[in-house]
Amino acid sequence: MDSIYLVVALGAVVAGFVQGLSDFAFGLVAMSLWAWTLEPRLAAVLAVFGALTGQVIAAVSVRRGFDAQRLLPFVLGGLLGVPLGVLLLPRLDVEWFKVVLGTLLVLWCPAMLMAKNLPRITRGGRLADGAVGLAGGVMGGIGGFTGTLPTLWCTLRGFDKDAQRAVIQNFNLSMLAVTMSTYVATGLVTRKMLPLFAIVAPAMLVPTLLGARLYIGISEARFRQIVLGLLTMSGIVLLASALPRLATRWA
């Protein structure tokens, strides 16, 4: 049991720093560590709780570039997607989900990193933003991955780092609050999880603040490199955790 507490604390520290710096990826980073030890539903609940805690910290420490009209389509789409993700969670093959998401990140993000000029999507308007928000909401309901696709989309939209952070920060905060409330209402959160919550929250506090502090001093170009690099690493870790388990099924 002590080893589980250590793994949970380590995941919270690393994921908290990454979230403070990039304002997303807590779920991906934490799950990449917790998935080896924790039962999938427990890992998903802890990932949502930690990501929500980090967003509250980030909302207090970094507040720039807020635009309600830009944010609204993402949030409306996400509110539709969260219940779908929660319904899918008990029925989902988690390993295949990781493979699909990991493959997307590993193929697409390095291509964007190596491109001299990042492709910029200008079409689709608010409807496209809402569709991406819907997908982010579904992924949030599955395991706290709310920010992955919206972050990639904002990068493709060409938002500056403050505008992107404002969208992702407030979108994630909204989606994670709804997801956590849904987890509680549906009984996914149990009393046995409370000691682990008490480990996650303090473990991630200082790393999240340090990451947010570092964010303020980095350039636009460096911020995009960090975001795409983190997305790529998250994809690699997801594949590394899922493929061996799928291989044992086929053996």
Q: Other C-beta atoms within 10 Å of 187: how many?
A: 7
Cα–Cα distance measured from residue 34 to residue 11, given in angstroms and rounded to the nearest whole number: 7
Mean per-residue pLDDT over the chain, rounded: 82
Helix (H, G, I), strand (E, B) or coil at 119: coil
Helix axes 26-34, 220-250, angle to 10 degrees: 30
Helix (H, G, I), strand (E, B) or coil at 92: coil
Whole-model pTM: value is 0.72
pLDDT of 63: 61
Tokens of 174: 């909204």
Cα–Cα distance measured from residue 204 to residue 58, given in angstroms and rounded to the nearest whole number: 12
Place of tokens 């590394």: 240
Helix (H, G, I), strand (E, B) or coil at 185: helix
Q: Other C-beta atoms within 10 Å of 13: how many?
A: 19
Residue 121 has pLDDT above 90, yes or no: no
Residue 147 has pLDDT above 70, yes or no: yes
pLDDT of 223: 79
